[in-house]
């Protein structure tokens, strides 16, 4: 059966908090320390201490690094992680997190990912936290990762670029497609490293998936906040067998006067509000007018934000909703290689048997860009490799 990891962002998430939670849940710190030593000529020291937040026992993790003033590019970070040859999928997971960081920073600064210079997140301690989390996830055998909605607060934080608003621009950019909610306090609850990690690891966001909990761990942040426990909690266990996966909400609006150019924006807005899937279908409406039906599926609790996205992003005066039962395959993510580049593969399982395998489109785009090839050609090669290596 599939082993699932649920990241419960009670008080937000940061790299050190998530690493501490995974070790508190049962990941062995000794091999993690040995692997992290490969990241630097000077020794990196992973310190672990007991902590308590609002009466809940937890673990604090801190990576102590040699003094440095390095500002690293994405290529520099890739080289450091590649040189460490981390075991299993941990290297690929760490690289994915930094790729997402580079892409987010590039969008903020109006440049390309290759031209991005990391400041705080390019320091050795941030690289070690990211790799440490990837190593811990690998060690715990998590094949599927789900993350809770994330809390965000207001305020300012000092960074290399000056005083930045909270959430930090990179954090908010990384969380474009994730469900978030606001808290009325002045604190950085989700760091850019934390946001990149949950986006790189999680296949979906929402409530605790059907599972049998086996391991539970709490990771504490440095500050002891009065308003909420500054903790991230992880739950690791066996996913329940494929089958009925609960209730989903179908949201729909009929549109006959929306500019076609605005339809993709409305679809994207629904995804950004937390929809699981969004689609359109042509219909004939009253007076013979051609129109479309905009449809979105969402988990219970997300229908409000999705409905608001439809109302704000389209010309409709109302959105109808209905509740449906849904059956799903178990899911996990594997990897294959195309011309020396890693491509993720979405895998669907029924009673432990692989029945579907498809390459991640975004990974195919990145590989096509790096190789100067068409996305179609890379996708075809990745699909063929997935059929050979995953469905065999």
122 exposure class (CB count in 10 Å sphere: 0-12, 13-18, 19+): buried
**Residue 1: pLDDT over 80:** no
**Residue 243: pLDDT over 60:** no
Which of these, 201, 5, 180, lies nearest to 100 by C-alpha position? 201
Where do you find CATH 3.10.20.300 in the chain? 330-389
pLDDT at res. 68? 64
pLDDT at res. 320? 95
CA distance to 77, 205, 220, per residue, from 131 (Å): 11, 22, 18
Q: How far is the C-alpha of 251 from the C-alpha of 180, rounded, in Å?
A: 20
Q: What is the CATH number of domain 330-389?
A: 3.10.20.300
C-beta separation of 305 from 313 below 8 A: no
pTM higher than 0.75: no
- Domain 244-328 -> CATH class: alpha beta
pLDDT at res. 74? 83
Q: What is the mean pLDDT of residues 319-328?
A: 88
Q: How confident is the model at residue 353 (pLDDT cuts 50, 70, 90)?
A: confident
pLDDT at res. 304? 86
pLDDT at res. 245? 55
Where do you find CATH 3.30.70.1380 in the chain? 244-328
* Least trusted range by pLDDT, from 116-125, 160-169, 339-348: 116-125
Q: What is the mean pLDDT of residues 238-266?
A: 83
* Least trusted range by pLDDT, from 35-39, 65-69, 135-139, 283-287: 65-69
Tokens, residue 280: 């359109």
Q: What is the mean pLDDT of residues 239-246?
A: 60
**Residue 217: pLDDT over 60:** yes
Q: What is the mean pLDDT of residues 307-331?
A: 90
**Residue 251: pLDDT over 50:** yes
Which of these, 302, 133, 151, lies nearest to 234 by C-alpha position? 133
User: b vs e for 323-349, b when ≥16 Cβ sit within 10 Å of the residue's Cβ?
Assistant: eeeeeebbbbbbbbebeebbbbbbbbb
Average pLDDT over all residues of the chain: 88
Q: What is the mean pLDDT of residues 298-326?
A: 90
pLDDT at res. 329? 81
| Residue range 36-49, pLDDT digits in tens | 988 875 778 899 99
Q: What angle do CA 81, 86, 91 make, to 5 degrees?
A: 60
pLDDT at res. 313? 94
**Residue 244: pLDDT over 50:** no
Residues 6 or more apart in contact with residue 171 via CB below 8 angstroms: 152, 190, 191, 192, 194, 195
Neighbours of 180 (CB within 10 A): 20
pLDDT at res. 209? 84
| Residue range 82-114, pLDDT digits in tens | 999 999 889 999 999 999 888 888 888 788 788
C-beta separation of 48 from 220 below 8 A: no
Which of these, 327, 302, 347, lies nearest to 245 by C-alpha position? 327
Q: What is the mean pLDDT of residues 289-314?
A: 91
Q: How far is the C-alpha of 255 from the C-alpha of 266, rounded, in Å?
A: 11
Question: Greater confidence, 122 or 128?
Answer: 128
387 exposure class (CB count in 10 Å sphere: 0-12, 13-18, 19+): middle
pLDDT at res. 52? 96
Q: Tell me how far the alpha carbon of residue 27 is from its chain's centroid.
A: 21
Q: How far is the C-alpha of 138 from the C-alpha of 149, rounded, in Å?
A: 23
Q: How confident is the model at residue 162 (pLDDT cuts 50, 70, 90)?
A: low
Neighbours of 242 (CB within 10 A): 21
* Least trusted range by pLDDT, from 43-47, 77-81, 118-122: 118-122
SS3 content of the chain, % helix, strand, coil (to 5): 35, 35, 30
Which of these, 152, 270, 149, 151, lies nearest to 207 by C-alpha position? 149
pLDDT at res. 227? 92
C-beta separation of 217 from 207 below 8 A: no
Residues 6 or more apart in contact with residue 320 via CB below 8 angstroms: 251, 252, 253
């Amino acid at each position: 059966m599939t082993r699932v990891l649920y990241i419960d962002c009670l008080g937000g998430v940061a790299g050190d908090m998530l690493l501490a939670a995974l070790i508190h849940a049962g990941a062995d710190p000794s091999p993690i320390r040995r692997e992290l030593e490969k990241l630097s000529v000077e020794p990196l020291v992973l310190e672990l201490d007991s902590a308590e937040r609002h009466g809940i026992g937890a673990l604090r993790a801190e990576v102590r690094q040699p003094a440095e003033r390095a500002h690293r590019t994405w290529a520099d970070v890739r080289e450091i992680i590649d040189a460490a040859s981390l075991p299993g999928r941990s290297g690929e997971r760490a690289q994915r997190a930094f790729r997402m960081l580079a892409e987010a920073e590039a969008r903020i600064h109006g440049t390309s990912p290759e031209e991005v210079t990391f400041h705080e997140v390019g320091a050795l301690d941030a690289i070690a936290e990211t790799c440490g989390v990837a190593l811990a996830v690998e060690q715990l055998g998590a094949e599927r990762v789900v993350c809770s909605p994330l809390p965000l607060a207001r305020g300012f934080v000092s960074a290399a670029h000056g005083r930045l608003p909270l959430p930090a621009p990179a954090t908010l950019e990384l969380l474009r497609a994730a469900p978030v909610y606001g808290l009325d306090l002045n604190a950085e609850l989700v760091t850019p490293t934390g946001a990149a990690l949950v986006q790189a690891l999680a296949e979906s966001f929402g409530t605790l998936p059907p599972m049998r909990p086996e391991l539970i761990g709490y990771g504490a942040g440095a500050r002891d906040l009065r308003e909420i426990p500054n903790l991230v909690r992880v739950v690791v266990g066996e996913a329940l067998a494929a089958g009925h996966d609960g209730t989903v909400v179908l949201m729909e609006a009929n549109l006959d006067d929306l500019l076609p150019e605005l339809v993709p924006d409305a679809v994207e807005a629904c995804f950004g509000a937390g929809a699981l899937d969004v689609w359109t279908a042509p219909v004939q409406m009253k007076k013979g007018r051609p129109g479309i039906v905009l449809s979105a599926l969402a988990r219970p609790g997300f229908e409000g934000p999705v409905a608001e996205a439809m109302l704000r992003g389209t010309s409709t005066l109302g959105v109808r909703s209905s509740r449906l039962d849904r059956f799903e395959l178990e899911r996990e993510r594997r990897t294959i290689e195309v011309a020396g580049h890693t491509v993720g593969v979405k895998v669907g399982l029924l009673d432990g048997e692989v029945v579907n395998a498809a390459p991640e489109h975004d990974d195919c785009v990145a590989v096509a860009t790096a190789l100067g090839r068409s996305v179609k050609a890379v996708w075809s090669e990745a699909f063929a490799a997935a059929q050979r290596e995953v469905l065999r």
